[in-house]
Structure 1
Amino acid sequence: MAEKEQKTRAYQYKNKEIPARVRAYIQEHRMFERGETVITGISGGADSVCLFFILHYLQEELGVKLVAVHVNHGIRGEDADADERFVQNICETAGIPLEIVRCNLELIAKKRKQSMEEAGRNIRREAFERAAQKYGAAKIALAHHKNDNAETLLMNLVRGTGLNGMTGIKPVRDRYVRPLLCLERREIEGFLEQNGIRYQTDQTNLTEDYTRNKIRNRVIPYMENQINPRAAAHLSEAAEQLRGVQEFLEKQLKVFKENCVSRKGEKLLIRTEPFQSGDKILREMTVLSCMEEVAGQAKDLSAVHVADVSTLFGKQCGRQIMLPYHMRAVRGYEGVTLEKVHAAREKEKEVRQKKEKGILLREEELPLEVKCRIPGTVFYQTPKGKKTAVTCRIVDLAETPGNMQKSHTNCFDYDIIKHDLCVRTRRPGDYIVIDREGRKQKLKSYLINEKIPASERGEILLIADGSHILWVVGHRLSFCGRPDEHTKRILQIQIDGGESHGRDN
């Protein structure tokens, strides 16, 4: 009966200022479109109950349809069950569909190796997303308010954060919207009390097991009681102003990033020269943005990681640091590359280190080689999957060598080749002949001198006669093997990989 009375009173609020402010805030931030289905989370607490009743009150005017979602985390026994029954009653009375999700939060947190707080947040998000998919909902409404915004700002500040962390909670982020960010907690509780709307109290919010609870129960009340009654509201407003600054800087960042960052597959290269020419704030934002892009998320990426990556620009080539989410930042010739470290790549690194230390490799660790067919065509795939066709043929001496010396085609003195030619990538002991006197240079030294990034060296195709590299495809030929006046038979090799391979000389 009490719940039915709540429903009838919902359309007869004694003070309609609060619903009016929420409606204006929704319209200001364009949270909903007419005809949309909206998922609203409801725990049974004051904030989510207030959101539920106000959206119920406004749904016809806004032209939206509500669906409620309640998550029972299974950690408060009868209290949690009472919350569930309470939510069921008000949703049934209001005629709003309700999805109830029950779980064992403690067990899930342990399995996922997450804190209870983080696991609970993720479980709720997953429940909202499933409900949104089931009902075809375009938006998910959450009940964060100004005090939550103030708590977030303070929590990020004391933990250490950049500008983005000081912007608080966004009113709209993707499909998530927060219509109550225009209200303080005291206004929400006052609205519910004034209109006789009951709500549940979660006793875990009164404990100080979590950082947010300490700020909520101690820091904010002290500021409001001893410094300024509207401290939380002012902190929230400051976060909103900083959000405006952030949005302006993000526009500048977009232009700056386009100028100094380039993508190479799954990697991002921040080029030194254009990067160093930018203002410090843009450099820091660029590094953070690149880390977030490579990681696929922003959590746990802080000012410390930005500083660590930034210092690499003053280091020698080859220096690197590890970052959260299996990321690595590597100083190269052009700048700093950010990449995800995959197991396969770590294996490549292990093999490479074995080579450099002279440790005997197992057969499966040796780079794949394909014997050239003369005449004929063979196909080769690099460790990273690039496919290439290698065609060999013996050509008539009457053909003009100049017409065949191209970036993807070269000619060799067939009679001085000692072994079967093969196409492969680099191995320990590889060398090239650098002049007519027959002086040799290690292939590794040549690649370093040419400033070819370490991450690309293992992908360069080689035409090899044993350890003697006749052709570093795309770069240069060995002096030994070039046709001269004594050549009787010319071997022409053509590389077909769908692109030009650069210079060869």
Structure 2
Amino acid sequence: MDIKGKFLETIKKYDMVKKDEKVLVGVSGGPDSICLLHLFYCLRHELEISLAVAHLDHMFRGKESEEDALFVKEVCDKWNIPFYGKRVNVPKYIDKTGLSPEDAARQIRYAFYNEVRDKIGAQKVALGHNRNDHEETVLMNILRGSGIEGLVGIEPVRDFFIRPLIRIPREDIEAYLKKHKISYRVDKTNLEPNYFRNKIRLELIPMIKQNYCSNLGNSIRRLSEIARCDLDFLANQTQLAWDKVAVIESNKVLIDVKGFMKLHEALKRRIIRKAVECLKGNIKDFEYRHTELVLEFIQESDTGSLIDLPKGLYGEKSYKYFILSTQSPQPAEFRYTMSIPGMLYIKEANLYVKTWVTDRNRQPIIKNNPLIAQFDYDKIKDKLIFRSRKEGDRFIPLGSNFFKKLHDFFIDEKIPRQKRDKIPIVENNGDIIWIIGLRIDDRYKITNNTKKILYIKVLEQEDEI
């Protein structure tokens, strides 16, 4: 099959373009993008599409970059294709951001493509990545310690970006241009092993082919197909797990900790990354180490703990959920009134509370469950108040005869500062009777004279109520 046949077959296989769509072609002036543009130009009537070209001068190579832009514009004028060009000082952007030249150029370039696409109303943006680019990308990802996603390599279609040359090798592209006597620009920096990708292409791949695997390209493509199939299965399993354990709100994702902990480790990591993607639109710069940090936080941190994460994200551990949010958790004041017996949901602490009263009747005293407390009901007056802590709070901790400031109690108990505002205080008739999960007030403990017992229980699930 010739290059045009492969080109059309790829477009059809991945449903890249539809009738009457406008396709913006990213053209650098190099062989790949010029070949891409020429194929689209020759087949535009058959595909029933319209074309436009976007060219970005990165200002890396001075006069040569300017000549690239002029060359691409001349090609567009010759073929009567609308041209959109722009110059951006990428070296200056690199100094400002600290990004690598490759990452900085890619970031600026894709932003430019989006800008032009919105301006002209194009449905697709076509890029000139070829089969060799795909193989190089997979090797780069392996060396960087990629997961399965990295083994897939360059996707033929991602959002509105399409890559019709992705199944065509570089040598076929160069042969096509030579056959049709089509000129193109040569970026001399691509011939120097200065950047990671260049070193892979110019040094590593030739060495592997010569000494270890002459059919390296076929091996990498087979690896990618296997990875793509496995990834599709994992994506389905992740979605099933997500539907069971995750809830999306306006600026946060709530992950049920109990359900999450039952998942396989692979699904746990994918749930975390999916939560990041839901909130930020992508997982760029959210690395493996960050995923592991969140996983450890969910599994080992105490209720009320907080964690700062990349991409402007914040994590919080509540009684039931791990909460991933785009907003930093702020101390929330709350106050609820509760009848006895009764049921209550404390939104700010994300927990449920149930109260009831029983006769003493030799009921055992519960000592080792921090989520349930017993009180002498005869000393309780009126309703209970569940509230956040406030300045000047004090109580008499069980086993003591003296008042203690709540602030000092938290310090002595080594309660993390960020957790203190989330711990509900139970109050009755102006007295603190329980610091939930920690200590009751000695004045309200059960004694030999107690006739009725008040139970207050913290529930981790609504259906326990």
Q: Which TM-score applies when normalising by structure 2?
A: 0.73
Q: Specify whether residues 433 and 199 from structure 1 end up closer, same or farther in structure 2 by C-alpha distance, changes over 3 A only.
A: same
Contact 2:302 2:317 in 1 (8 A): yes
Select 2:40's aligned residue among 49, 55, 67: 55
1:107 partner letter: K
Q: Which amino acid aligns with 2:114?
A: E
Alignment CA distance shift 1:310-1:423 (3 Å) = closer
For 1:58 and 1:441, how far apart are their aligned partners in 2? 83
- Give the whole-Å Cα distance in 1 for the aligned partners of 2:301 and 2:343: 35
1:5-16 matches, cutoff 5 A: none
Letter in 2 for 1:426: R
Deviation digits for residues 85-132 of structure 1, max 9, x if unmatched? 211111111111110111211112223342322221111112111111
Out of 324, 329, 339, which is 1:338 matched to?
A: 324
CA–CA distance in 2 between the matches of 1:312 and 1:407?
A: 28
Aligned-residue offset at 1:280? 2.7
Provide the secondary structure at the position in 1 that maps to 2:45. Answer: helix
Residues 403 and 27 of structure 1: CA distance in aligned 2, closer, same or farther (over 3 Å) = same
CA distance in 1 between partners of 2:104 and 2:405 (Å): 54
Match of 1:394 in 2: none
Pick one of 29, 42, 53 that aligns with 1:68.
Answer: 53
Which letter maps to 2:125? Answer: I
- 1:321, CA displacement in angstroms? 5.0
Aligned CA distance change for structure 1 residues 467 and 134 (closer, same or farther; 3 Å): same
Distance 1:286 1:96, change over 3 A: same
**RMSD after superposition:** 4.3
- Matched residue SS, 2:32: helix
Structure 1 counterpart of 2:310, one-letter code: P
Report the equivalent of 2:85: 100
Aligned to 1:247: 232
Structure 1 position 188 matched with structure 2 position 176: no
Could you say which residue in structure 2 is the equivalent of 1:359? none
1:411-422 aligned at under 5 Å gives the runs none
* CA 1:184–1:67: 2 relative to 1, 3 Å: same
1:426 aligns with 2:389: yes
Looking at structure 1, the residues matched to 247 and 419 of structure 2 have their Cα atoms a distance apart, in angstroms, of 15
C-alpha distance 265-36 of structure 1, shift in aligned 2 (>3 A): closer
Structural mapping, 1:264-343, within 5 Å:
266-317=251-302, 321-334=307-320, 336-340=322-326, 342=328
Shift in CA distance, 402/459, structure 1 to aligned 2, threshold 3 Å: closer
Over the matched positions of the two proteins, sequence identity in percent amounts to 29
- Rounded Cα–Cα distance in structure 1 between residues aligned with 2:340 and 2:187: 82
Q: Could you say if the C-alpha distance between residues 277 and 407 of structure 1 is closer, same or farther in structure 2, counting changes exceeding 3 Å?
A: closer
Change (3 A) 1:112 1:466: farther
Separation (CA, whole Å) in 1 of partners of 2:71 and 2:104? 24
**Residues 442 and 168 of structure 1: CA distance in aligned 2, closer, same or farther (over 3 Å):** farther
Q: Tell me which moved more, 196-205 or 263-272.
A: 263-272
Counterpart in the other structure of 1:238: 223
| Contact kept in structure 1, 2:35 and 2:173, CA below 8 Å | yes
Query: What is the distance in 1 between the residues matched to 2:218 and 2:75?
Result: 30
Q: Give distance in 1, aligned partners of 2:137 and 2:313.
A: 27
Offset from partner CA, 1:432-491 (integer Å, 9 cap, x none)? 7999xx9989778999xxxxx99797479989999856999xxxxx999xxxxxxxxxxx
What are structure 1's unaligned runs of at least 5 residues? 1-15, 349-381, 392-400, 409-415, 448-452, 473-477, 481-501
**Structure 1 residues 296 and 81: alpha-carbon distance in aligned structure 2, compared to 1, 3 A threshold:** same
Q: How many residues align?
A: 401
Q: Which runs of 5+ in 2 are unaligned?
A: 346-380, 411-415, 436-440, 444-461
What code does the residue aligned with 2:112 have? Answer: A
Assess, with a 3 A threshold, how the Cα gap between structure 1 residues 281 and 187 changes in structure 2: closer, same or farther: same
| CA distances 1:41-72 after superposition (whole Å, capped 9, x unpaired) | 00000111111111111211111111001111
Deviation at 1:197, TM superposition (A): 1.5
